[in-house]
Amino acid sequence: MTVVPTFGARLSEAMSTRGRLCVGIDPHAGLLLEWGLGDDVAGLERFAMTCVEALAPVVSVVKPQSAFYERFGSAGIAVLERVVAESRAAGALVLLDVKRGDIGSTTRAYADAYLDPASPLASDAITASPFLGFGSLDPMVEVARRHGGGLFVLALTSNKEGAEVQSAVSGADTVAGTVLANLSRLNAGAEPMGDFGAVIGATIGRPAEDLDFNGPILAPGFGAQGGTVEDLRRIFGASASRVLPSTSREVLRAGPDLISLRDAARRGNDAVAVLGEG
């Protein structure tokens, strides 16, 4: 029987060998325009595959946001399938940003769509929403464990609307604290870290919740959205070594030149390397 390496182990190795930066491959309409491309499927494909060629061989994780492909319908999804497959073939882990959350058989269908190797959208990990109750993610947890995949669960996001849910009190803890406690349970005993991560913004204040849940932390908002290395150290403290800072526009605005894109990613990687020290 073949032993499938865990996502946590694969991510830890990738961060050690390729650096800590996660780069979003997000074809905003405005970025397509900046690159001199049309806001159409041809422009989408040119943009996305240029990013894959430049970034997937050098960064540890790429994070395509599914919505920017979905808006072009089936043709856009076909481009997303190429982004996922070719990024993985180039050695990058793919974190598909879909933020799915539902119940029962629907949750299982999402898990099969994104985490089962038989799917054309099979990725290494996905983002997930726990706000129908953390237990609603159980089918995703099951499929991730079976295939060596991972989840990054929304916990403490940077958007101003998030606090009304995430900071609300649930029993003896906040909603975010409950999410993190469940992640700690799933990751108990895992080495070098668990497969189940949290999404915690790079621009939030110092959280009151315990961030030591033995899993990776996706920190969107680094770079163009204002998050700095100092912010990451302040927010995450002793957990900073497990942080995967995520940026999109900061790197993508360097395109469409391949070398400029790759250099921008390397600069970002160099900047966040200090998070792994100490």
Active site residues: 99
What are the distances in angstroms from CA 109 to CA 63, 102, 112, 140? 21, 10, 5, 9
Q: What distance separates the 2 farthest-apart alpha carbons in the chain?
A: 53
Between strands 61-64 and 22-25, the pairing is parallel
> Alpha-carbon distance 235 to 139, whole Å?
31
Q: Are the beta carbons of 24 and 51 closer than 8 angstroms?
A: no
Nearest to 198 by CA among 226, 160, 237, 239: 239
Torsion of CA 259, 50, 244, 191, to 10 degrees: -110
Q: Which helix (H) or strand (E) holds 200?
A: strand 196-200
SS3 state of residue 39: coil
Whole-angstrom distance, CA of residue 204 vs CA of residue 235: 7
